[in-house]
Amino acid sequence: MDDIDLKIIEAINTVSPKSFVSPVKVNEGLKLDANRLGTRLMILKKSGYVDIMTSEYPSSLTLPNAISKVYLTELGRKTLTDKK
């Protein structure tokens, strides 16, 4: 995990530490390219730090790769507390 991944986890925690949120809302503070954020979220999901939901029907709150919701897992929250 690099600094960008950690910033993504922190941003998710800031928006909503315990429920699913739109990745577009998370990205408002990060200002990453939407495709790059989607790729990073997929990698973080495979590593167990986040969970994601996809949608067949994209909206303005959905990333280009169909990620519509993102959630911080227990491992993701633990990473933030271990960092402090």
What's the number of CA atoms in the CB half-sphere (13 Å) around residue 21?
A: 21
Q: Which domain holds residue 17?
A: 3-78
Q: What is the pLDDT of residue 83?
A: 72
**CA atoms within a 13 Å half-sphere pointing along the CA-CB vector of 4:** 12
What's the structural domain count of the chain? 1
Q: What is the pTM of this model?
A: 0.91
CATH number at residue 59: 1.10.10.10
pLDDT at 67: 95
Digitized pLDDT (tens) for each residue of the chain, 84 residues in all: 789 999 999 999 999 888 999 999 999 989 999 999 999 999 999 999 999 999 988 888 899 999 999 999 999 999 988 876
Which pLDDT value is given to residue 84? 60
Task: Kindly report the backbone phi and psi dihedral angles of residue 21, in degrees, each rounded to the nearest multiple of 5, phi listed first.
Answer: -135, 160
In a domain, 83, yes or no: no
